[in-house]
A and B are shown apart, each in its own frame.
Chain A
Amino acid sequence: MPADQPLVVISRSGARRWVSAIDRAARDVGLRVGMPASKAQAIIANLTMIDADPAADAAALERLALWVLRQYSPVVAVDGTDGIVIDTQGADHLRGGETMMVSGLVNSLRGRGLTARAAVADTWGAAHALTRLTEAGTTVVPVGGLSKAVVGLPIHCLRLPADTIQGLRVLGVETVGELSAMPRAPLTLRFGPEVARRLDQLFGRVAEPIEPLRTPELVAVSRDFQEPIGAAETIQKYVHRLARQLSAELEGRGLGVRRSDLVIHRVDNTRQCLRAGLAKPVRDPARLAKLLCDRIEQIDPGFGIEKMVLVAVMAEPLQERQTTASLMEEQVVDVTPLVDILGNRGQRLYRMTPVASDVPERSVTRIAPTAAATGADWAARWPRPSRLMARPEAIEVVALLPDQPPAVFTWRGKRRRVKRADGPERIFGEWWTRPREMQAVRDYFIVEDEQGERYWVYRAGDGIDPQTGSHRWFIHGVFG
């Protein structure tokens, strides 16, 4: 089916058939969600229509939620019929913070051909409303900015029954702000307690715990406490015990854990989570427990913890491997435990590897620290500066065109006389990947001033043809 053909999904309620979802092409020709199917057919001749299948939709949404659970956060649940609610607390550090996490999530869904919008807010209600009502792909409400963000939203975002919304509209209430300013008692008398409850949930006055999605194939071990526990040492002791139990469970199935969640149930019926990610499947209880205990200070036990659950959210096959004893002293040390420890603290770990490119800033790329050794090295044996500026800085230069190095240059207000210089090393633009660089040229020089300080400077352009560059000079690096 061609992509530019309008496509609509038709739902039935009783005898009525109406449009429940449309694609972009259908929106462009003027179809809208909620219009009767016959009207849509009247607007577009031979419109492609599909009958809605709520059961399949729900199953697909649950599959998506499970994927989010594995990849992003320990507490994930299906929200209504069209959304997923994610508790980002305790898991966003693995993705570089909330903003990075939601933009990465939306981008990866877009890469799979799904259109998604995401919002991060202090409460489930606010995030639910903002996701459905803002046009932006991702919204992050800063802590404390909640009421400002939701006060102007229309009331149909409040997850209330349709007739309640209709009744409120009759009273002339349009926005959340107006509704929250009204006296509670008459509202409750007329519409029941639901309105006040949803408002309180939206503003975070009432807790709304998310019941996390679980499937039977997830390996989990739990521990109930007769007396609530709270001391860090006690928590640590039980984390170690749970890790041992989990390892034993996994051993039976031949699995190793890649991602595990510690879910802590407090006596006041709230939940806290810690997630630990591992670079390779692991079944060593000590390593797993260390990763979780590393962040034990983030747990707020409140009035006490009554239950702890350790779940292996993502498990991969792990075979036992026999190590060969060798007489050689040389032993390749596996750095994965260290990478795991540092990575779970939120540090960015990477290795640098060569890329076949002459442009200095493109000649390196970051790869995973645990990636297999590439053995590759940079081919150019010309001296390279040990510090490369992220952005070349413009310098004032006295130089003879076209191919003489600078005689004098001024950088950051300091004038330097060049004593020795080497160059030019000409680097051409990569026209095969970037058409704009068809004629671009950079001429690099190593210059040394009177103090012996060595810098890497370049001129944009070859010194003759203005097509090749602006002929301005830049400093790009500092040699040791």
Chain B
Amino acid sequence: MSRVHNSRVIDELRDRIAGLEGRGSKNAAVLPFGVRQIDERLPGGGLAYGALHEIAGGGTGTVDGAAAALFAAGIAARANGKVLWCLTRPDLFAPALSQAGLHPDRVIYCQADKEEDVLASMEEGLSFGGLAAVVGELVRLPMTASRRLQLAAEKTGTIGLVVRRWRRQTEASDYGNPTASSTRWRVSVLPSEPLPVAGVGRARWLAELMRVKAGECAEYEIGACDAKGCVCLLPVSANGPDQTSWRGNHAG
């Protein structure tokens, strides 16, 4: 009898904590990857709506952020609705986003001159509601700014994605600094899927889940986004090259 009572008290307390954390029933929804191994590591079984998620590249991807942008595009493509993409460097090639499942009619680009304007536009986009996702390409994401974005996202249930790209590869150690984002990913390129003939197969990424609120870190070798924005788990390559050489460079 007392155990039943206890569990009810604990449930009540959990609800109150969830309420304090700003996770109402409306925002509890998640966007699953559709890959069981990834989803089971994420609380709720997917990327939380109404939260901020950080994605960075690894290796030279810290500078160009090519894989990270596609990973974000895939997530945004699977959410339903329009996407606001805030950036300062307009080098994103829209056909690639379209190939990752994000139709050009769905993306509104917001080009700013300064990083602060990107943050302000993201916050405005997140608090607007009615967008599927807000993506921002940022160099620096201070704790205060990320907290603001996270709060704006919580209010409306819009998914916030920050693609971190730095000016130099050495600056990427900044990725170790804490932010308020609920998950943090590093997506680096791996040699593509081998084909029986000469050519480049489906791109593969090493997606490292470096931080997740109420969850454990993990890493996956995944196939890049397909035409619907879905990633898939590809078996670990036995003859893959040694990745440790560059991974050791960035403690983070």
Contact = CB atoms under 8 A, between A and B. Distances in A.
B128 A478 contact: no
Contact of A454 (B71, B84, B103, B203): B203
A452 B93 contact: no
Contacts of B190: 452
B82 A452 contact: no
B91 interface: yes
Interface stretch (B37-45, B107-115, B143-151): B107-115
Given A480-B96, A480-B224, A342 B121 contact: yes
Interface stretch (B19-27, B28-36, B62-70): B62-70
Contact of B128 (A338, A360, A369): A338
B111 A387 contact: no
A380 interface: yes
A385 B191 contact: no
A82 to B, nearest CB: 36
A454 B109 contact: no
B178 interface: no
Interface stretch (A20-28, A138-146, A351-359, A459-467): A351-359
Interface in B87-128: 90-100, 103-105, 107-112, 117, 120-121, 124-125, 128
Contacts of A338: 84, 124-125, 128, 131
Interface stretch (B6-14, B46-54, B192-200, B208-216): B192-200
Given A369-B108, A420-B192, A479 B124 contact: no
A369 B67 CA distance: 26
19 contacts: A335-B130, A335-B131, A338-B124, A338-B128, A339-B108, A349-B109, A351-B109, A352-B104, A380-B95, A386-B100, A387-B65, A388-B93, A420-B201, A422-B200, A448-B200, A451-B189, A451-B246, A453-B60, A480-B68
A244 interface: no
A335 to B, nearest CB: 6
B200 A374 contact: no
B104 A376 contact: yes
A452 B109 contact: no
B64 A387 contact: yes
Given A385-B66, A480-B68, A480-B69, 9 more contacts: A333-B82, A339-B108, A374-B104, A387-B69, A390-B91, A451-B246, A452-B204, A452-B241, A480-B67
A419 B194 CA distance: 11
B160 interface: no
B203 A386 contact: no
Contact of B105 (A333, A342, A373, A478): A373
Contacts of B204: 452
Interface string A380-416: 1101111111100000000000000000000000000
B95 A349 contact: no
A365 to B, nearest CB: 10
Interface of A: 333, 335, 337-339, 341-342, 345-354, 360, 363-364, 366, 369, 373-378, 380-381, 383-390, 419-422, 446-448, 450-454, 477-480
Nearest to B125: A338
B105 A385 contact: no
Closest 4 pairs between A and B when the two form their complex, measured CB to CB: A480-B70, A333-B130, A352-B94, A480-B67
A462 B60 CA distance: 30
B64 A448 contact: no
Contacts of B224: 480
B91 A388 contact: yes
A381 B226 CA distance: 12
B81 interface: yes
Contacts of A454: 189, 192, 200, 203
B93 A385 contact: yes
**Residue among B67, B97, B111, B198 having the largest count of chain A Cβ atoms under 10 Å:** B67
Contacts of A381: 99
A420 B198 contact: yes
B157 interface: no
A350 B198 contact: no
Nearest to B111: A348
B59 interface: yes
A480 B124 contact: no
A386 B57 CA distance: 13
A360 B93 contact: yes
A189 B153 CA distance: 70
Contacts of B91: 387-390
Contacts of A448: 191-192, 200
Contacts of A369: 108-109
B59 A451 contact: yes
Contact of B189 (A348, A349, A385, A480): A480
Contacts of B81: 333
Given A387-B65, A478-B66, A480-B69, A377 B98 contact: yes
